[in-house]
Structure 1
Amino acid sequence: MTEWVHLAVGLAALLMIAIGVSYAGRLNRHRDLLVASLRAVLQLAFVAVALRGVFAAPVTSIAVVAVMFTVATWTAARRLRPTEAALAAVMLSCGAGASVVIAIIVALPTLDRNVRNFVAVSGIVLGGTMTAATLAGRHLGEGLRRRRDEVEAWLSIGATPRQAVREVARWAASEALVPALDQTRTVGLVTLPGAFIGALLGGASAVEAARFQIVVLVGLLCAEVITVVLLTYLLGAPRQLPAG
């Protein structure tokens, strides 16, 4: 019981500091910080209970991954709401990126083929594609607004919308990969990622934990490259440019 009290006090202290700093810095994010933290607590509590049933009945893992995919794509598409056809583009690009990686990891099998690895890898990869899609879409929108004159100049000399936007789309896709590249470059030197720590805490040896983590990191790179390239292609021929 004491450990739960300590957990609650520690979380409350961290959240209060975050909200206080946000308020002092006039970031207007204090409500978002509170809501996001409360949602995380409730959702993880629910998942912890639900996964017991999943591990007992492996076939239900498909439903769990489907829910993850739905929430991930809806979240990314919501961030790109002003962009036409955002949801369909996000679903197709994230689905392509995640399915290739998950299929390779499960089919070879790159890791031990079990429900725990399937659910864990699927969640991590889907989360990565969600972030990559959000970044790529937002960078694309930003680039179209900032370089509107350049795009219009290409259109004025007869370029198609896709040709006019090509360089902006390439820039957006490249920028969206920066966090994943930095994470992979600095693993073990700057950070010990969650998958590595989680595997250690779960009883795996350091070698097994490192094996799991490197598969996850390279898998994330693969999934995110596919996602950002496909997404910027699908959104890279807009019928109307965003307002400058």
Structure 2
Amino acid sequence: MDLEWLVEFLKGMLKPIAATVVVLLAVLLSYFQKLGLEGEMVYSILRAFVQLSVIGFVLQFIFNQQNRGWILLAYLFMVSVAGYTAGQRAKHVPRGKYVAGASILAGTAVTMLLLVLLKVFPFTPRYIIPVAGMMVGNAMTVTGVTMKRLRDDIKIQMGLVETALALGATPRQATLQQVKRALVISLSPVLDNAKTVGLISLPGAMTGLIMGGASPVEAIQLQIVVMNMLIGASTVSSIMSTYLCWPAFFTKAYQLETKVFTSD
């Protein structure tokens, strides 16, 4: 009786295991094209298999609890991992992991709070944890790109920034164009995805509902909510990251911190 869950789990894993044949195809193509990615492909799919299997059991445990504290723990864990990952992308930004983590936390927390207050989602683990995961993942990507792009643009245009500072501009005024460019580049994929959703591809949330038996109309309604929250969370997180980056880019005398831009 106690092993029924294990038997059901193993039965359910037959299709995912069968689907790995497409990964084997990718491995073969990489081998014949001499890309050298075979090992990384195998490692990636094995890691994904283990991670998703473990998180499946963890979520099953959390969903069966009646304590909302698990929502906070799961959310903070996701933000911590996302902050570390985004910080790795922008590794030349001082304290980049903390900047990314704080930015992601701010953007997703504000968005989630509004959704709960407006009663779009009930404050339960079954709703909040998956929704938070989508927002955190998207904010992680956008924040990492914003921070890296901003630092790289300032490095390329150090002369222009230093000239503006010498003429009395504040750090914000001196780097306004670089900030705008970084934000536009990082947010463009999110906005492009919103423009083409349903025309080119059916997003994951919508596809999952349809495959689970929900009507297309219900799936569309949820997907609209998802797109709205992704745009909101990503915008707040990316803008917040630019504000938090500035102290590391400039000295107290409003001069560029050259050591930040000389490292490669």
Normalised to the residue count of structure 2, the TM-score between the two structures is 0.82
Q: Residues 143 and 168 of structure 1 are in contact (CA less than 8 Å); yes or no, is this contact kept in structure 2?
A: yes
Question: Given the alignment, which residue of 109, 115, 118 partners 2:119?
Answer: 109
Structure 1 contact 19–34 (Cα < 8 Å) conserved: no
Match of 2:204 among 187, 191, 194: 194
User: How far is 1:231 from its partner?
Assistant: 0.6
Query: Residue 71 of structure 2 corresponds to which residue in structure 1?
Result: 61
Task: List alignment gaps of at least 5 residues for structure 1.
Answer: none
Q: What is the CA distance between 1:22 and its match in structure 2?
A: 8.4
Among 25, 40, 53, the residue aligned to 2:48: 40
Map of 2:152 onto structure 1: 142
Hey, what does 1:88 align to over in structure 2?
98
2:16 to 7, 12, 25: 7
> Where do residues 194-233 of structure 1 align in structure 2 (5 Å cutoff)?
194-233=204-243
Q: Deviations over 1:189-218 (max 9, x none)?
A: 011000111122333322221111111101
What letter corresponds to residue 185 of structure 2 in structure 1? E
Aligned partner (choices 33, 41, 48) of residue 24 of structure 1: 33
SS in 2 for 1:235: helix
Q: Secondary structure at the match of 1:105?
A: helix
1:136-181 Cα deviation digits (max 9, x unpaired): 1121122122222222222333333333222101110111101110
Equivalent of 2:182 in 159, 172, 196: 172
Greater alpha carbon shift after TM alignment, 187-196 vs 109-118: 109-118
Using the alignment, how far apart are the partners of 2:244 and 2:34 within structure 1?
38
Contact 1:98 1:122 in 2 (8 A): yes
Given the superposition, is the C-alpha separation of residues 163 and 85 from structure 1 closer, same or farther in structure 2, using an over 3 Å criterion?
farther
CA displacement, residues 78-100 of structure 1 (integer Å, 9 cap, x when unaligned): 22121112122212211111011
CA contact under 8 A between 1:73 and 1:87: conserved in structure 2?
yes
The answer as to whether partners of 2:106 and 2:237 remain within 8 angstroms in 1 is yes
Counterpart pick for 1:121 among 110, 114, 131: 131
- Alpha-carbon shift at residue 29 of structure 1 (Å): 5.2
Distance in structure 1 (CA, Å) of the matches to 2:218 and 2:123? 14
Instruction: Give the Cα–Cα distance (whole angstroms) in 2 for the partners of residues 67 and 45 of structure 1.
Output: 17
Deviation at 1:8, TM superposition (A): 2.6
Partner Cα separation in structure 1 for residue 104 and residue 216 of structure 2: 31
- What is the rounded CA distance, in whole Å, between the counterparts of 1:115 and 1:205 in structure 2? 23
Counterpart Cα distance in 2 of 1:172 and 1:133: 10
2:30 touches 2:37 (CA, 8 Å); kept in 1? no
CA contact (8 A) 1:166 1:236 kept: no
When residues 35 and 153 of structure 1 are mapped into structure 2, their CA distance, relative to the original with a 3 A threshold, is farther
Contact 1:23 1:29 in 2 (8 A): no
Conserved 8 A contact 2:23-2:41: no
Unaligned runs of 5+ in 2: 1-9, 251-256
Contact kept, 8 Å, 1:22 with 1:30, in 2: the verdict is yes
Distance in 1, matches of 2:168 and 2:65, equals 58
How far did 1:3 drift? 7.4
Cα 1:4–1:115 shift into 2, 3 Å: closer
Q: Indicate the larger mover: 28-37 or 141-150.
A: 28-37
How far apart, in 1, do the equivalents of 2:28 and 2:78 lie?
A: 28
The aligned amino acid for 2:43 is V
